[in-house]
Structure 1
């Protein structure tokens, strides 16, 4: 047992009226002790559930992110790039109700020389949804055996890469079992959304469900000096924009005193469908993805157009959302997405 960790646990777990928030340094210490196993399993489980009940602060998230930055793998700055690297923070426990769009979004950005980094793990509690790694595997891209050197090379050669938690951050992967055992997503699930495993200039994209989470993330990013971000109230807490309703988005804006502003994206303004695509079964989803890659019409097309157009605009390629959407409409009539996918496969297999 760690007596030092016990004192941190007592602060967050003392009850509704007597608990205390951790300082940034204490949160850094707590996360480090959990990641390295200095805290015992009983202490880790108790901390995660107590922290969830208390709710983390932005300061605590910043400190825990410090530990992730210290101990996790990271890719190095890419030389001679025109745009900041886009980090797509996707919930690690996957999608269970709606069709994921972000892998196609990543290909769209990579086609336009905007580097993209994704990260995630295996099928994970508590949602047990479809994880990114399985989508890429179904597309013929096996990212589970990448060394960190190969991940770096893939990014530099194709403008796309992926960090796989079991391979690149095994210390964090060991904490996954606690989600199963406590039956709840701990605050680490929010931490994963805003992990930035890259040393260079980056643009953080993260999804959220509840407004308090968005505020907490903003506070953590401000404390850590992260100035470029896009936070999306997207499908199932992902950064995928919605067709079925207006999507609320928080973006950095240094011209405003508070440092951010809100956008509202209305799909009907662009004559797009107003229905999000259900994830009825994986096989049907993969068939629709492959239609897109072959330049065919798909039930995913409108969602891909909205998301791809928004991200091309937000990442600086397109001058407006309308211009971004038109660019994606034209792109889907070509084989460029398929060509980019084949390029990724070729570099992986070289």
Structure 2
């Protein structure tokens, strides 16, 4: 076989799956059901066979390696196009030989396979019951002769395809979700062991602790530099003031009464500036165990309701902070004497920013493909 297409993606793709097996194993039906359940795009590999291949199979002539090269390359182009557009996919493809699977893996790093295992008599019965399909029962023998079991290969699930359809779909979806979450956790554990902020030191890369950044680009980088700088200055100020006051008390028997008051003010600023920065980056804690069990449309509706509630709550907090700002203009702190309004300015600014970010995310829910979604297509013949 000729050289495979180089991969166009730099990182392993989690939202990808190939449902494979011999003809009659149920690839088309199962892959469509899995794609619908996960909210991923479905790709039917049979639709990418050139006319010559279809005619050969219709005549009962098995395909050789050379016959499948252009077919596999067409599937690679389709998979890479889906990833480039931000979509996950389920591909229904026989992928009978290890060489075929490796060709697809080389183009899409991290590609996973669900092998629908079935016995010869059941495959014959199912293929014979399909009206109008170009794969005749005479080619079932060649399918089993060509099949190189993927058992033991990395990223492969072997499923008994003789089970009920619902059981097979549930097993595949559960495996995909489990593996995807496990990979995400491992990546985040690895990220936490790294020094520095990759969002600022690796161009175009944002840390994804709990979700996608709400927005990216030049404005995002400017916002991150501003908030990171403010938090660094505030933290340094708190350390100097508190530590200096402790040293003064123990070394000279006296301290500065205003140190605690100013450190509390700096802490308020630090908290609310950090909240706005973390929300933009998608780093705030969230719980999605129940939400992830819903169908794709229901998940979007739940997300929309959640962000709408965040926007409303933040708007109410903004209004309350504004009332406190008006009150604070005429009041001063008891020790240092700074205007109390300084303690409410970060609350007002943070809550206003959270309103805008929540509204942007509300729009993103319907514009972006959903996270942890995946599969592309289905192929019933090879």
Q: Shared topology, TM-score over 0.5? A: no
TM-score, structure 1 normalization: 0.31
Q: Greater CA radius of gyration, 1 or 2?
A: 2
Q: TM-score, normalised by structure 2?
A: 0.29
Query: Of the two structures, which has the highest relative contact order with CA contacts closer than 8 Å and spacing of 6 or more?
Result: 2
